[in-house]
């Protein structure tokens, strides 16, 4: 993706104002350690928000709360119009079916081949039994991430970038409405990082997802972000496009863009 395209992407705000995630005054502590102090955020349909912040600021904790992996202490957390904290286990399951989560490590099931990894949510969650249909969805989504040849490989035979792609394919196979990315380019070389960032954009367009992307990689942020949110000391302290924040007079914000 060249710089003109990036510019166009950054200036294009979400036309659809439907809010898919609404967070108000979210707080989360671990013992005496108050990680999230007052988080407020709205993710609109079709929008990509990048969350920037130094390590240990609670960026991953925020998306883990959204996915229901952690329970917040206080605040409002709505996903697709439903308050996550009030969901029954069945409702939480339904909500998770519309949510994709790409873990930092890829989190592939290491005793299964790529095919089995991708078929896992189809057979267990969607209860699909038609082998031909499962195979078609697996090969289609693998083609989307450019890894058709890796279908019978084990995760241990894949490189870091390939693992991320397969992890991405495994979440996309469920056709989620919202994607949560936890540092999708960490640990990858610059070329692969760029490929993954571009893939995120392509797949967002293809599957029409809304995304929250946690990253430290400014190139990734530049490529994927419609809007960037900067996090510090358990709060979101600034929001804007890449260019707006890059020219911010605030030194703390500006430091991320140097």
Partner 1 sequence: MASALTSTFNRYMELVGDQVVFTGRFAKNIFRGGFEWGEFVRQCFIVGYLSVGLVGITGFIIGFVLTLQTQPTLKEFGAESYVPGMVSISIIREIGPVIIALICAGKIASSIGAELGSMKVTEQIDAMEVSAANPVQYLVVTRILACTIMVPLLTIMADALAMAGGWVGVNVQDNVSATLFFRKSFAALEFSDVVPSVVKTFFFGYAIGFVGCYKGYHSSRGTESVGRAANSAVVSASLWIILIDAVAVQITNLIYY
List residues binding partner 1 (CB under 8 A).
Answer: 67-69, 93-94, 96-97, 99, 101, 103-105, 107-110, 120-121, 124-125, 127, 167, 170-171, 174
If the CB atoms of residues 46 and 176 are measured against partner 1, the closer one turns out to be 176
Report the residue number, 93 or 206, with the smaller CB distance to partner 1: 93
Closest CB 184 distance from partner 1, rounded Å? 14
**Minimum separation from the CB atom of position 196 to partner 1 (A):** 18
Closest listed residue to residue 133, CA positions, set 153, 111, 118, 112? 118
Alpha-carbon dihedral angle through residues 216, 217, 218, 221, given to the nearest 10 degrees = -90
Q: Which is nearer to partner 1, 97 or 246 (CB)?
A: 97
**Closest CB 199 distance from partner 1, rounded Å:** 19
Nearest residue (CB) to partner 1, 91 versus 140: 91
Between residues 109 and 254, which has the closer beta carbon with respect to partner 1?
A: 109
Q: How far is the CB of 85 from partner 1 (least distance, A)?
A: 16
- Shortest Å, Cβ 100 to partner 1: 8
Burial tier of 179 (Cβ tally within 10 Å: 0-12, 13-18, 19+): buried
């Amino acid at each position: 993706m060249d710089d003109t395209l990036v510019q166009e992407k950054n200036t294009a705000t979400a036309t659809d104002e439907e809010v898919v995630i609404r967070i108000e005054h979210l707080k989360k502590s671990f013992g005496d350690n108050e990680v999230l102090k007052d988080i407020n955020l709205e993710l609109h349909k079709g929008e990509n928000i990048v969350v920037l912040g130094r390590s240990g600021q609670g960026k991953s904790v925020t998306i883990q709360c959204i996915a229901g992996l952690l329970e917040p202490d206080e605040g409002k957390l709505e996903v697709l119009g439903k308050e996550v904290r009030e969901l029954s286990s069945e409702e939480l399951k339904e909500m998770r079916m519309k949510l994709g989560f790409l873990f930092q490590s890829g989190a592939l099931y290491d005793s299964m081949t790529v095919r089995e990894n991708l078929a896992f949510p189809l057979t267990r969650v969607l209860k699909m039994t038609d082998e031909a249909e499962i195979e078609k969805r697996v090969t289609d989504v693998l083609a989307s991430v450019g890894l058709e040849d890796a279908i019978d490989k084990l995760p241990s035979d894949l490189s870091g970038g390939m693992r991320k792609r397969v992890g991405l394919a495994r979440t996309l196979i469920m056709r989620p409405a919202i994607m949560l990315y936890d540092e999708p380019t960490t640990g990858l070389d610059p070329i692969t990082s760029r490929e993954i960032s571009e893939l995120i954009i392509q797949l967002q367009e293809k599957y029409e997802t809304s995304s929250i992307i946690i990253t430290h990689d400014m190139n990734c942020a530049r490529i994927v972000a419609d809007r960037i949110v900067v996090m510090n000391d358990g709060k979101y302290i600034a929001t804007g496009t890449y260019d707006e924040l890059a020219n911010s007079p605030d030194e703390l914000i500006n430091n991320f863009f140097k």
